[in-house]
Structure 1
Amino acid sequence: MKELLLLACVCVLSAAYASDDATGWHEKYKPLKATYLIYSGEPDERSAPTGTDRKIAIIVEGDPAKEIFDSLYPDAKGVTCTTERGERLRRKGDVWCSYRPSDGYRCFMGFDLRNGRPNSGASC
């Protein structure tokens, strides 16, 4: 009985390993530097969270933000948040990122915690 159980475990593990090899992709989760804020209202008019209105705004910075920024190609045309030379913005849906020479890459996203829907999490 032990031999049969051991054989079954080996088969399951072998199948799982083989399926990973078939895709050729072995990426793992990476560390992330992020900050968050729980609030109510809209990103440009935040107030204290309430029992019926709770949203989370998340800001990702550094290398993870650069990787997200690079994935949101192309740059937004004619849109800026500051007057800083070299600022670049990218957005897809409710995920948006900026690059500024003064503070690097930053990405903004958020969710309505009452219904799970995404929102932008920030405004210029």
Structure 2
Amino acid sequence: MKKILAILGAITLLSLTCAAEQAQWPAPYRPFKGEYAIYSGELGDQQAPSRSDRKLSFVVEGPAAKEIFSTMPPDDKNTCSTEKGARSRSKENVWCTFNPSDGYTCYFGFDLRTGKSIGGGIC
């Protein structure tokens, strides 16, 4: 019985220690809503991935996209949307949009053969 109580006590202490460490982590990982596509060719003319051409495109939506959008000002001069109140921000290969009807969306991608960053969305 003493061994079981000692084991339970150790597990509880370890759990509390891990929880405390995670609470103090300055940039914790958080879940997000999104989608991805693996393809070849160009974004506007996607094909099935091939041995010599594989790209990855991510679309992030909701609160995570809003946070990304908010950290990359200023707004672009032009947007792809004609909706009143639409906004767009881009830095290199990260592009985020805001449309009053859809909310926030961000796009980015990678060339899986080279590992280099590429655009993940098109107008």
TM-score by shorter chain over 0.5: yes
| 1:61 matched residue in structure 2 | 61
> Is 1:86 paired with 2:89?
no
Task: Please give the per-residue CA displacement for 1:45-93, whole angstroms capped at 9, x wherever unaligned.
Answer: 211111110001000000000000011100001x121211111000000
Q: Secondary structure at the match of 1:82?
A: coil
Output the CA distance in 2 between the equivalents of 1:37 and 1:117: 16
Q: How much has 1:43 moved relative to structure 2? A: 1.6
| 1:10 matched residue in structure 2 | none
Structure 2 alignment gaps of length 5 or more: 1-20
Q: How much has 1:107 moved relative to structure 2? A: 0.2
| 1:9 matched residue in structure 2 | none
Output the CA distance in 1 between the equivalents of 2:48 and 2:119: 18
What root-mean-square deviation, in Å, do the aligned CA atoms of Structure 1 and Structure 2 show?
A: 1.8
Q: TM-score, normalised by structure 2?
A: 0.77
Tell me which amino acid in the other structure corresponds to 2:67: E
Q: Secondary structure at the match of 2:67?
A: helix
Structure 1 alignment gaps of length 5 or more: 1-16, 18-23
- In the TM superposition, structure 1's runs of 4+ consecutive aligned residues that sit over 2 Å from their partners are 24-27
| 2:26 matched residue in structure 1 | 26
Tell me which amino acid in the other structure corresponds to 2:69: F
Q: Secondary structure at the match of 1:85?
A: coil
| 2:74 matched residue in structure 1 | 74
| 1:122 matched residue in structure 2 | 121
Tell me which amino acid in the other structure corresponds to 1:94: N
| 1:113 matched residue in structure 2 | 112
Identity of aligned residues (%): 50
